[in-house]
Structure 1
């Protein structure tokens, strides 16, 4: 590490650490100024268990002013940036959860999770509060990761029939395999449904149609590529990122960034540069190929 002061501490759990989880990251703000962070949309659900009073997050900047700390956050598949207040010392464990694992892990399809009210208490109840208390008492990140994994494995074991329609599961896998570049018509043909029927099944299960999911997958690959480039070289070739992530050109990538993040990519990069250098925005795609069975159960770390 260079001589500059680090603002964030990040700890990353090993791949396949928990059922249905694409990534599990422990975070702690060491020296961050009071600011509002953009929570970018993605094709994953956001599940955060705080180690402090909670996260102050809202769907809009205006709503953030009236929002108090939320100890456990669970958000649906949103397509607009959320707003999170940053402050020194805040810490927690953040998970990117496959939407098709929502039934198994949370007892409801992802379509029923709010994209504006992030408080998990209404869905998860007392067990989520107990999990947060246990994490706050754990001595380190490894122990916290093991507690989260144990909680999710136990939740999965209580569900009698958490499976989703096989057409939806296979279609989602094909979208991931193509990195969001497979046209919806071709996708529907592969699963033997009309595009309209496939769209109905997707919206019923995850709250979004397959075209929107494809856009989200392309967008998050672009975000990961930008972050990886900054960590390696301190800069980024946006035209190259656009070409590598299925966007027509740099202008197309910029339009998608504005649609999802609210700002162009270079404006977002200026806001997040220090966080990226400290290890934030690690590419979720490192785990994508392991998630064909998003609700599978795996052993806890060190078990």
Structure 2
């Protein structure tokens, strides 16, 4: 759970990278203007509450000075328990969560706008999600799916799907069916997304620390055959190459320094009110 507030940012379009978690955002202002394509962004309306399914392509977000809100990374297998439906049924093109979550989410936004401190904002969101979980006795997620997700996540997307299916006692075809039904993606697609997410974190982390990045080494460390393989997968998920993404997100990489292009005030919290939806 992260609280963000834009202090001094340029008016620009931000590339929202795909990840293996659902994104739940409750704004402290009129909302976030987001779309699945850059072409659709100008006509998109700001949404005070955003919830989307498991994206495998970058979204586009209008970046504005003064934006603020609380963003939560939600495990896809927690969707039934928290939102009343599997993540497979969440839209990946319509970001407005209000038709799904109803009046309670609107009231959450109204209360969040009045929160005097980040701690109060985090507590409101955590209580909202915990209350949603307690209202449902059974999350309905099959244990084979939860265990398969755990195995893929533990390997950072490098575990062969056939091996994972064998470990959970299902045929690969049956596991594919269950994954599609629950998260809207096959285990292979989820594994590729997890591997991409790990590589992206490594690229960003190395750039922030050293101002430069060795893509060939990161490709090898994160399970890709070579740098070209990493670049192809990066274009698949992000829509641009790693170098192009770095040019968007960072400055002065070539001369050995780096600066975050956006200056944000932020805080973060890990609530003890929420457990691991995938179990032990």
TM-score scaled by structure 2? 0.90
How many Å separate the matches in 2 of 1:262 and 1:139? 39
Q: Specify whether residues 71 and 292 from structure 1 end up closer, same or farther in structure 2 by C-alpha distance, changes over 3 A only.
A: closer
Structure 1 residue 109 and structure 2 residue 86: aligned?
Answer: yes
Asked whether the 8 Å contact 2:147–2:278 carries over to 1, the reply is no
Deviation at 1:160, TM superposition (A): 2.2
How many Å separate the matches in 2 of 1:170 and 1:214? 14
Deviation at 1:279, TM superposition (A): 7.7
> Which residue, 121, 124, 133 being the options, matches 1:156?
133
The CA deviation string for residues 130-169 of structure 1, in whole angstroms up to 9 with x for no partner, is 1111111111111111111111100000012113000000
Deviation at 1:275, TM superposition (A): 3.9
Structure 1 residue 225 and structure 2 residue 189: aligned?
Answer: no
Asked whether the 8 Å contact 1:104–1:295 carries over to 2, the reply is no
> Which residue, 147, 171, 175 being the options, matches 1:170?
147
RMSD, aligned CA: 1.8
How many Å separate the matches in 2 of 1:295 and 1:174? 11
Q: How does 1:1-303 map to 2 (within 5 A)?
A: 24-273=1-250, 274-275=259-260, 293-294=276-277
Gaps of at least 5 residues in structure 1 are 1-23, 281-286, 297-303
Structure 1 SS opposite 2:199: helix
How many Å separate the matches in 2 of 1:214 and 1:150? 31
The CA deviation string for residues 170-191 of structure 1, in whole angstroms up to 9 with x for no partner, is 0000001111011111111111
Q: Specify whether residues 69 and 187 from structure 1 end up closer, same or farther in structure 2 by C-alpha distance, changes over 3 A only.
A: same
TM-score scaled by structure 1? 0.83
Asked whether the 8 Å contact 1:36–1:85 carries over to 2, the reply is yes
Deviation at 1:62, TM superposition (A): 1.5
Asked whether the 8 Å contact 2:76–2:87 carries over to 1, the reply is yes
Tell me the number of residue pairs that the alignment of Structure 1 and Structure 2 aligns. 264
The CA deviation string for residues 229-255 of structure 1, in whole angstroms up to 9 with x for no partner, is 122112211111111111111111111
Structure 1 SS opposite 2:81: helix
The CA deviation string for residues 195-220 of structure 1, in whole angstroms up to 9 with x for no partner, is 11000000000000000000010011
The CA deviation string for residues 66-125 of structure 1, in whole angstroms up to 9 with x for no partner, is 111100000100111111001110111111110000011111100000000010011101
Q: Specify whether residues 45 and 73 from structure 1 end up closer, same or farther in structure 2 by C-alpha distance, changes over 3 A only.
A: same
Structure 1 SS opposite 2:229: helix
Deviation at 1:51, TM superposition (A): 0.5
Gaps of at least 5 residues in structure 2 are 251-258
Structure 1 SS opposite 2:39: helix
Asked whether the 8 Å contact 1:43–1:77 carries over to 2, the reply is yes
Structure 2 SS opposite 1:85: strand
Asked whether the 8 Å contact 1:54–1:70 carries over to 2, the reply is yes
Q: Specify whether residues 154 and 132 from structure 1 end up closer, same or farther in structure 2 by C-alpha distance, changes over 3 A only.
A: same
